[in-house]
Structure 1
Amino acid sequence: MKRQIQPWCIISGLSLCYFTISPPSFAQSIIIDGTTNTFLRNCSSRCIITGTDRGGSNLFHSFSKFNVDANTRVLFQDPGVENIISRVTGTTRSHIRGTLGVRGGDANLFLINPNGIIFGPKAQLDVEGSFVASTASSLVFADGHQFSATNPEAPPLLTISVPIGLQFGATAASIQVQNSSLEVLSGKTLALVGGNVELRGGQLIAPAGQIEIGGVGANSFVSLGNDLRLGYEAVENFQDILLSQGFVINTDGDKGGAIQLQGRRIEMTESSDVAGSTSEAKKGETLRIYGSESVEMSDNSSVSTGNEIGSLGDVGDIVIKTRRLVVSDASSIRATTNGSGNGGNLTIEAGESVEINGEGRLTQLSTQTFGSGRGGTLEIKTPRLIIRDGGQISASTLSTDEGGGGTVIVNASEVEVSGTGGMGNNEFPSGLFAQSKDPGTTGNGGNLRINTEHLVIRDGATVSVAAIDGSLGQAGTLDITASSIILDNKGELRATTASGDGGDINLEDVDVLFLNRNSQISATAGTAMAPGDGGNITIDAGSIVAIPNQNSDITANAFGGRGGRITITTQNLIGIAPLTREELQMRLGTDDPAKLDPQRLPSNDITAISQTNPQLSGQVTIQTPEVDPSRGLTKLPGEPVDSTRLIAQGCSSGGTVAGSPNRFVVTGRGGLPTRPDDLLTPDIVIEDLGIRTTSTVQQPFSTTSMVNEGEKGRDGDGEILTDGLFLPVESRVKNHADTGISPAVTRPRHAIVEAQGWVVLPDGQVILTAEVPSVTPHGSWQKAASCSGS
C-alpha cells in the first residue's frame, strides 16, 4: 500500500517535529488538530493512537476529525491511566463503522463530539473499562477546568482532578445507533448522552454493569458521579429517546445491572426490549426510565427485571417517572422472580395519566412470582388511570413453591377499567389483579389497594384478588376507598377462590355505589370437589343503587363450606335486596346445590349462603345509621308569611294565556328531590303556607290551581318557597286537569325562576342557580282578580 507522510509539530519544552505514517484512508478519517501531543501509529487495517498529554489519571487527545471506517480498528494506547479523553474540535460528525477501543489497559474511554455521533451497522467496542460517548461541548473537572471541543484555542490547562460532568453548548446534537452492537465488560458502564438519541436495531450490552442513555437540551449540565453514574438534576430541557426495530438494552449478569433512560419523550416500539436479570445471590440494580413529557411503549416492546430459575438474588426494582405513560399492543413492564429471591418493586409516577391499552392483546404492568420468593409491590400514582381492551395491572403468583403474590397500590383521582382482550374461548378481562392463578399454584394471592375519587369498571373488566384457574392458594384482600364506584355491563369486584377460603372485599367512604347490567361483587369460595368458606364483604356507602332486574349481585357464598359475611352500612339501598337460601330455592324452584346461584335469577340479590348445607349459611347485615333530628329541624320565626309571594295565580279558561304548558316549581332546601332517581336527604321539614311557627308543622292542607273539565285554558303555576318540604306517604303533589276552579291569588311582581341546577359549597350548602329571563312581566298580571289579559 502506498504510504503518506504527515508532518506534525509539537511544542513541549523544546520544539520538535514528529512524523506519523498512515494509509490514505486513516488520513482522511482521523485528523489530529495539533492542540495535544497525539500520534497515529502503525495505521493499516488497525491504527494505534498514543499521546503524552497526561494530567494525573487522565490522558487527553484532540482531533479536528474522527471517524472509524468499516472493517478497521482504532485503538487508544493506555499508558496506565484511569480515563482516556478524546474530543473533536472540527465541524463534522463522527461515524463509527468499525471497532473502537483501548489497548494495553482498562482505562475508561470518552469520545466527545458536539457535532454528533453515529454508530453504523458494524460498529463495535473493544474496551476493558467503561465507554462514554457524548455530544457535549466540554468535559468539566472538579477543580473547575474544562476540556472543551468548542473552544480548543484556550490554553489546555490539563488537570489531575476527576471529571464531574458534561457541559452542553448552544446546541445538543444527536447520537444514533444503527443496527450495531456495543458491549462493555461485566460491571462496566456504557453511556450515550446527547440531544436526541435514536437506537434503531442492534443492542447495548453491559453484563451486571450500567447503561446510561440521556437525551438533553442545549446548555444542559449532566453530572458524573461514582462509577460514572449520570445525574440530571441541573437539566431543565430534555430531548427525545427512541428505541425501534427490536433494539435491546441488557445488563443481565450475576446481578442485574443498572439501567437509566432520561429524556423528554421516550418511545419504545417494534419489539424493543430493556432488561436486567440476576443469576446469582446478589440483588439486582434498579431500572429507571424518566420522561419529562411521556413514556410510550407499543408493538410488543418490554421493560423487565428478573432472576433465573433457582436464583437466590432479589430482583431489581423498576421506577418510571413521567407526565404521561402509555403501554399498548402487547407491550409489558414486569419485575418477575423465578427463584427464591424476592421479586422487584414496580413504581410508576405519572403527572397526568397512565394508560394500559391492550388493543385486544395482553398488555401488562406486573410483579409476578413463579418461584418461592414473594412477588414485589406494584404502586401507581397518577391523576388518571385507564386500563382497557386487554390491559392489565397484576401482582400475581403462579408459584408451586408457595411463593406469595405481591401487592398492588393505586393512588389516582380517576380509575377507569373497561373491556376485554382476546376472542372467543381465549377472551380475558382487562383489570387490576393480585391473584393466585393456574393449576398447581400453592402461593396465596396478594393484596390490592385502590384510593380514588371515581372508580369505573365496565364491559367485562375485573378488579380481583381471587385464586383462579385451578389454584390451590388463598385469595387476598381488596380494599377500595372511593367517592363513587360504578360497576356496569359485567364489571366485577372479585375475591373468589376455586378451593380455599374466599378473600375479603372492603369498600370504604363511598358516596354512591352503582351496579348495572350483570355486575358483581363476589367473595364466593369452593367447588363440589374443593370446599372452602366464603369471604367477607364490607361496604360503607351513602347510597347503593342497582338498576332493577339487571342481575347485579353481591355474594359471599360457599359451595360446601360456610357462607361468608356481608356487612353493609348505608343510608339508601335501592334496587337490590338480601336473599336467604330458602328464598333462593323458592325462586329458582330447585334445591340442587349446584344450581343455587343468584346469577340464575334476573333480580339483584345479596346472598351469603352455603349452597350445600343450610346450617352453614353466612350472614348479611344491613345497617342504616340513625337520622339525627337536630339536623333536620330548624326553629322558625313566628311572624305570618305573605302567601301571595309563595303561590302564583292560576288563570281561568277564558284568559288569553290559555294553551301554555303546565308547570310546578318547588324552591327551598331539603324535601323531596326534583327527580325520582335523586337521593333522599334527612332535611325534610316543611314550612306551612301562610304560617310561621316555632314548631315543626305537619298538618293537612291543599293548594290547587285547575281548569274546568271540557274548557280550554291553562291551569296555573304552583310555586312553593320553603326551607324544607315534607310529604307524608298519603300526600301528593300533582299537576293535571281536574274539575273545579281554584281561588285567584295575586301574582307577585318579581319573576320567580325555576331552578336549572345547583352548586355545592365547601361547607355543604347547596345554592340553586338559573338563567334569569329578561322578559318584562305582562301588565295584566298586576290585576288582583282577573287574568283575562284585556
Structure 2
Amino acid sequence: MKISLKTLHLTLWFIASVSLWQQAIAQNNILPDNTLPIEEQSQVLDTPINEPGSPIDTLRLIQGGAERGQNLFHSFSAFNIADTEATYFITLNPDIENIISRVTGNDTSDILGLLGAVKLDSSFLREVVDLYFINPNGVFFGPASELDVTGALIVSTATDLQFSDEDIWGTTNAMAPSSLLVVDPSAFLFNDPGINGSITNFGDLQAVPGNKLVFLGGDINFNGGSLIAPGGEVVIGGIKSLGTIRLSEVNNASQLDFSDNAQLSDISLMGSSRVGGSQFFIEPDGGRILVRGDEITLDDASYIFSFIFGQADGREIDIKASELNLSDFSYIETTLIFSSATGGSINIDASNLTLDNFSEISSEVLGDGRSGDINISSETVAINGQSSISTSTFDSGNSGNISITASDVNLQGTTENGRFSSGIFSRVSSRGTGDGGDISVEADRITIVDGAKISTEVLGDGQGGDISVSADESLRVLGRSSFGLTPSAISARTEGLTVEANAGSLTILTPKLVVTDGAQLSASTFGPGNAGELLIDAEEIKLSGTSINGFPSGVFAQSNRSTGNSSNIFIDSHVLELLNGAQISAAALEDGIPGDIIVFGEDITVDGTSSFDLPSRILTQTDGSQDAGNLTIITDKLSITGGGEISAGTGSDSEGMGGTILIESNQLLVSGQSPSGLPSNLSVGTLGRGQAGDIGIYADNVIVANGAFISSLSLDQGDAGNIFLDSNSLVLLLDAFISSQSVGTGDASNITINLSDTLFMVDGSIRASSSQAAGGIININADRVRLIGDSDIQTNVDSGVDDAGSITIEADSIVAFDDSDILAFAADGRGGNITLKTNVFFGEDYQPNSPAPFDENDRVDINATGSLASGNILLPDVSFIENSLNELPDELVNSETLVANSCIVRDNDTASSFVLTGSDGLASNPRSDVVIPLSLDTVKPIADSAESFNGSILLESSPISEPSGAYQLADGRLVLSQECR
C-alpha cells in the first residue's frame, strides 16, 4: 500500500489550523491505559479520509501524554494500526524532542498501515521529533505498513527504558514517568524472563533522509520487508535472555553495548528483504548499518546495502554475530555511484561466516572516488556455490582492500561451465582505470577446492591489487572444477590494454603448502602490463599431480601471448616436493620478458610424471624475442628422480637466449626414468635461433644414475650452453651421462668438471657432440678418475668441416677398465686433441692406435681420428713404473725355519721395519692376507728347556698359539711367533 503523504500532510494542517478535532469512537485498535494521570493520558482522535482511490479511510491522531522536559510519554494497553489507517503521534510543543510510547498489555502490536510522528511549529510546519515505541510482547509490521516519522524511529520489545543510572520507565512496573526523565533514553532493559517478543517486518519502512531506524528486540525477522534510512542509520540488534542493551552515540555513530552474559537474538532477512542506508537518487549520501545478533541470516535474494551518489564520504556496514549466513543470491554491499567520495567500509565480526549459492559481500566504485574496504574477522569463513567476497572498480576510482582474519577459511566450487568461481576477488573492470584493491587473508588453515579462487584481476587500465595469504598451520589448494575447466587457484593476473595495467604481487606464508590435482598458484599477464612478483615462504611445500584433463598443479609466472613481462618466483622452503607432473614455471609465450626462479630449501625433490607422461619439473622458458629467465636453486639436498626435470629453454619460434641454471647443493642426485622411459634430467636447451643457457653446479657430491642426464642441447641455430660442475665427487652410473649437444647448425658448448676427489663412472658418459657444427670442449680436473664398464668421455662432430672439441683430463691417477674409451672424432674435419695430465694412467688392454670399432670391444681406446687430420693425443710417460717391477723367484721362504714354540720378548731398542714385495710372499700375520711391514726388533734367545716364565710353565698339553708376526733373532734368522704377555 502506498499512501499519499501529501494528502495526509494537508489533512493534518487543516485539522490543526481549524481545530476540527473529534473524539474517536471507542475501538480496540489503540487503547490508552490508566497508568498515567487522567490529565496526561493519551487522546486518540479519528477523522475520515474521503479521497477517492485512497487506500486510507481513517486518519488517527494521538495527542496528549505526559510531558517531561524534552520527552513526551504515552502509555497504551493495546496498540494496533489497520491496513486502511494512518496513525500519527502529534505534538505542538516545540521543546519536545522524543515521543516515547509503551504498551502495557499482553498482545503484540500489529502495524498494518501507516505509523507517523510529527511535531508542528506555530506555522503548522513539520519539525523533527523522534519516536520510541516499546512493546515487550512483540511488534509486527505488515506488508502494507509505512512510516512517516520526521525524526528517528526506535522500536523495541524491551520491558523498560533507562534514562540515567537509576531512572527507569517501562512495563515491568508501569507507573507515570517521574520528573527526572528529561534526557534521552540510554538503555533498553529486558527484565522479564517470560517475555521474549520479536519484531517482524513485512513492510517497506523508510526513514526521513538523514534519520535513524532502530529495531531492538528478541528475534528480528524480515520477510520481504525493508528498513531503509537514506543517509542516516539502520540499527538492528537484540537479546533473547535477561539483559541490557545500551544505545549510545560516538562521533555521530550509534553504538550498541550488551550486558555481560546476555544471549543475543537471531536476525533473519528472507524473501528479498532489504536493509539499507540509501535510496536511489533520493538521498545522495549513504547511510550506516549496524547489526548485532546471534545468528544472522540473509536468504532468497535479501541484501544489506549502502549506496553513495553524493560527495560526502560513505558510512560503514558493521555486523557482529555468532553466525552470519548468506545464501541464494543474497548480498552485503557498499557502492559509490558517480561520486568522488570514499565509500564506507564493510566490517564483519562473526564466529562463523558462510556464503552459499551466488551470495556476495562486495564493495564497488563507479566513479572517481574510492570504494570502501571489507574487513572480516571470524573463526570460520566458508564461501561455497559460486559466492564471493569482492571489491571492484568500474571507473577511474580505486577499489578498496579486503582483509580477512580467521581460524579456518574454506573456498569451494564453480559453475559447471567454469565461468563463475567461489572465492575472494579484487577486480579492475574492462572500463576501469582505477587501481584494484589488495587482498589479505590470515588464518590458521586455508582450503581452496573445486575451482574456487583468491584472485586479483585487471581487465582495464588500472593497477592490480596485491595478494597476501598467511596460514599459520596449512594452506591447501586442491583440484579443479567438476569438468576440469577451472583450477582452484590463488592468482594475480592482468588482461589490461595498456602498459600501466600491471598485475599485483602474490605472497604466501605458511608452514605447510599443498597444491594438487591441477590447482595453481599464479602471477600472469595477458596484455602489455607486467605480471607481479610471486613469493612463497613455507616450511613444507608439496606440489602434486594434474587435473583429469592434464593441466598440471604448480606455481606459475607467465606472460601469455602478450608483450607484458612475466614475474619472478621466489620460494623459500625446508622441504619442497614436486610430484606426479607438478610444475614450477616462469615463461613468456610471446614478446614479454620471462621471470627468474629462485628456490631456497633444505630438501628439494622433483619426482615422477603425470598420467599423461608430463614430467614434474622446474623450468624457465621463452617462446618469443626475449631471453628466458634464470633458474637458481640453493639447497642441502636436491633429488631429480622418476623422470623429473629441471630445465631452462627456448621455444621453436624464439629468438631469445635460454636461461642459466645455477645449482648450489650439498648433495645432487639425478636418477632414474618414468615408467614410460622418460629420463630424469637437469638441462638447458634451445629450439630456436637463440643460444641455450649455461648450467652451473656447485655441490659436495653429485650422482647421476640409471639413464638420467645433465645436458645442454641445441636443436636449431643457437649454440648449446656450457656446463660447469664443481664438486668433491661425481658419480655417473648405468647409462647416465653429462652432455653438450647440437643437433642443428649451432655449436656444441663446453663441459668443465672440477672435482677435489673422484670422478667415478660405471657405464656412464661425458660427451660434447655436434651434428654439423663445432664440437664442444671437455675439461676435467679431479684427484682420481675411474672409468669402469662402458664408460666414455667423448667429443665428436658428425658432419661438416668443423673440428671435434678437445678433451683435457688432469688427475693424480686415471684408471680405465673394460670397454671405457676417450674419443675425439670429426667425420669431415679434424679430430680433437686429447690430453691426459696424470702421474698414473692405466687402460685395460689399451694399445695406441688401435683400429675401429671402438665400442663393444672389451678394451680401452683413446682415439682422436678426423677426416682432415687426427688430433694430438698426449699421454703420461709411465715407463718408470713398468721398468721398476722385477720378477720374483718362485721359491718360498722355508716356514719350518720360521716357527718358534715360545713367545718373543722385545728389548728396548727402537724398532725398524722392512717391506716384502712380490707375487709369492708369505703373510706375516694369520689375520692378514697381504704382506705387511715386519718388526726388526732384537729378540732374546730361546731357552734350552722349558722353565717358568712370568709364573707359567709351557707344558706338552698347553695349546698351541698362532704366531702374530715375524721376528728377527740376534743371528739374523726370521722367526714366526708372538710377543710374550
TM-score (norm: length of structure 2): 0.56
Find the counterpart in structure 1 of residue 288 from structure 2: 258
Displacement after TM superposition at 1:620 (Å): 4.8
Selected match of 1:217 from 223, 236, 240: 240
Write the mapping of 1:747-766 to structure 2, written as runs, cut at 5 A: none
- Residues 20 and 40, structure 1, Cα contact 8 Å, conserved in 2: no
Aligned length: 576
Separation in structure 2 between the aligned mates of residue 33 and residue 608 of structure 1, nearest angstrom: 92
Amino acid at match of 2:25: P
- Residues 140 and 199, structure 2, Cα contact 8 Å, conserved in 1: yes
- Residues 247 and 254, structure 2, Cα contact 8 Å, conserved in 1: yes
- The CA RMSD over aligned residues, in Å, is 3.0
Cα displacement string for residues 593-652 of structure 1 (whole angstroms, at most 9, x for unaligned residues): 69x999xxx96555565645454544554544799xxxxxxxxxxxxxxxxxxxxxxxxx
Cα displacement string for residues 122-161 of structure 1 (whole angstroms, at most 9, x for unaligned residues): 1111111010000011111135311112211476445222
**Is 1:244 matched with 2:270?**
yes
Separation in structure 2 between the aligned mates of residue 194 and residue 50 of structure 1, nearest angstrom: 26
Selected match of 1:535 from 567, 576, 601: 567
Cα 1:50–1:468 change in 2 (3 A) is: same
Displacement after TM superposition at 1:569 (Å): 0.8
| Structure 2 unpaired stretches of 5+ | 1-20, 48-57, 121-126, 415-421, 481-487, 547-551, 630-641, 669-981
Separation in structure 2 between the aligned mates of residue 39 and residue 244 of structure 1, nearest angstrom: 36
- Residues 552 and 604, structure 1, Cα contact 8 Å, conserved in 2: no
- Residues 315 and 343, structure 1, Cα contact 8 Å, conserved in 2: yes
Higher relative contact order structure (alpha carbons within 8 Å, sequence separation ≥ 6) = 1
**Is 1:511 matched with 2:540?**
yes
Separation in structure 1 between the aligned mates of residue 117 and residue 25 of structure 2, nearest angstrom: 21
**Is 1:433 matched with 2:446?**
no
Find the counterpart in structure 2 of residue 129 from structure 1: 151
**Is 1:111 matched with 2:133?**
yes
TM-score (norm: length of structure 1): 0.69
Displacement after TM superposition at 1:483 (Å): 1.0
Find the counterpart in structure 1 of residue 577 from structure 2: 545
Cα displacement string for residues 431-460 of structure 1 (whole angstroms, at most 9, x for unaligned residues): 1012213xxx11121100011121111112
**Is 1:194 matched with 2:221?**
no
Find the counterpart in structure 2 of residue 306 from structure 1: 335
**Is 1:92 matched with 2:107?**
yes
Separation in structure 2 between the aligned mates of residue 38 and residue 371 of structure 1, nearest angstrom: 58
Cα 1:545–1:208 change in 2 (3 A) is: same
| Structure 1 unpaired stretches of 5+ | 1-18, 421-429, 628-790
Cα displacement string for residues 735-777 of structure 1 (whole angstroms, at most 9, x for unaligned residues): xxxxxxxxxxxxxxxxxxxxxxxxxxxxxxxxxxxxxxxxxxx
Separation in structure 1 between the aligned mates of residue 46 and residue 272 of structure 2, nearest angstrom: 36
Cα displacement string for residues 359-418 of structure 1 (whole angstroms, at most 9, x for unaligned residues): xxx311011111212221101111110000031101221154531111111111111101
Give the secondary-structure state (helix, strand or coil) at the position aligned to 1:466. strand
Give the secondary-structure state (helix, strand or coil) at the position aligned to 1:483. strand
Write the mapping of 1:387-406 to structure 2, written as runs, cut at 5 A: 387-390=411-414, 391-398=422-429, 400-406=431-437
- Residues 628 and 650, structure 2, Cα contact 8 Å, conserved in 1: no
Selected match of 1:447 from 453, 466, 486: 466
Find the counterpart in structure 2 of residue 234 from structure 1: 259
Structure ranking higher in strand proportion: 2
Separation in structure 1 between the aligned mates of residue 648 and residue 522 of structure 2, nearest angstrom: 14
Displacement after TM superposition at 1:484 (Å): 1.3
Displacement after TM superposition at 1:328 (Å): 0.5
Separation in structure 2 between the aligned mates of residue 471 and residue 625 of structure 1, nearest angstrom: 46
Selected match of 2:502 from 468, 471, 474: 474
- Residues 495 and 524, structure 1, Cα contact 8 Å, conserved in 2: yes
**Is 1:271 matched with 2:301?**
yes
Displacement after TM superposition at 1:24 (Å): 3.6
- Residues 447 and 465, structure 1, Cα contact 8 Å, conserved in 2: yes
Write the mapping of 1:309-708 to structure 2, written as runs, cut at 5 A: 310-351=338-379, 353-358=380-385, 362-390=386-414, 391-398=422-429, 400-420=431-451, 430-437=452-459, 441-452=460-471, 453-460=473-480, 461-468=488-495, 473-499=501-527, 500-517=529-546, 518-527=552-561, 530-548=562-580, 550=581, 552-575=583-606, 605=645, 611=651, 613-624=654-665
Amino acid at match of 2:425: S
Separation in structure 2 between the aligned mates of residue 348 and residue 183 of structure 1, nearest angstrom: 28
Separation in structure 1 between the aligned mates of residue 114 and residue 409 of structure 2, nearest angstrom: 46
Selected match of 2:68 from 55, 60, 68: 55
Separation in structure 2 between the aligned mates of residue 330 and residue 569 of structure 1, nearest angstrom: 41
Amino acid at match of 2:409: L
Displacement after TM superposition at 1:463 (Å): 0.4
Cα 1:465–1:381 change in 2 (3 A) is: same
Give the secondary-structure state (helix, strand or coil) at the position aligned to 1:395. strand
Separation in structure 1 between the aligned mates of residue 150 and residue 29 of structure 2, nearest angstrom: 28
- Residues 543 and 582, structure 2, Cα contact 8 Å, conserved in 1: no
Cα 1:409–1:554 change in 2 (3 A) is: same
Displacement after TM superposition at 1:503 (Å): 1.8
Displacement after TM superposition at 1:176 (Å): 3.5
Cα 1:609–1:233 change in 2 (3 A) is: farther
Separation in structure 1 between the aligned mates of residue 664 and residue 100 of structure 2, nearest angstrom: 75
- Residues 367 and 395, structure 1, Cα contact 8 Å, conserved in 2: yes
Percent identity reads 25
Displacement after TM superposition at 1:165 (Å): 1.4
- Residues 369 and 399, structure 1, Cα contact 8 Å, conserved in 2: no
Separation in structure 1 between the aligned mates of residue 341 and residue 140 of structure 2, nearest angstrom: 37
- Residues 567 and 586, structure 2, Cα contact 8 Å, conserved in 1: no
Amino acid at match of 2:382: E
Cα 1:328–1:568 change in 2 (3 A) is: same
Write the mapping of 1:138-157 to structure 2, written as runs, cut at 5 A: 138-142=160-164, 144-153=166-175, 156-157=178-179
Separation in structure 1 between the aligned mates of residue 505 and residue 648 of structure 2, nearest angstrom: 18
Cα 1:626–1:100 change in 2 (3 A) is: same
Q: Which moved more, 1:229-238 or 1:107-116?
A: 229-238
Cα 1:619–1:96 change in 2 (3 A) is: farther
Separation in structure 1 between the aligned mates of residue 647 and residue 555 of structure 2, nearest angstrom: 11
Give the secondary-structure state (helix, strand or coil) at the position aligned to 2:524. coil
Give the secondary-structure state (helix, strand or coil) at the position aligned to 1:177. strand
Find the counterpart in structure 2 of residue 657 from structure 1: none
Separation in structure 1 between the aligned mates of residue 264 and residue 662 of structure 2, nearest angstrom: 57
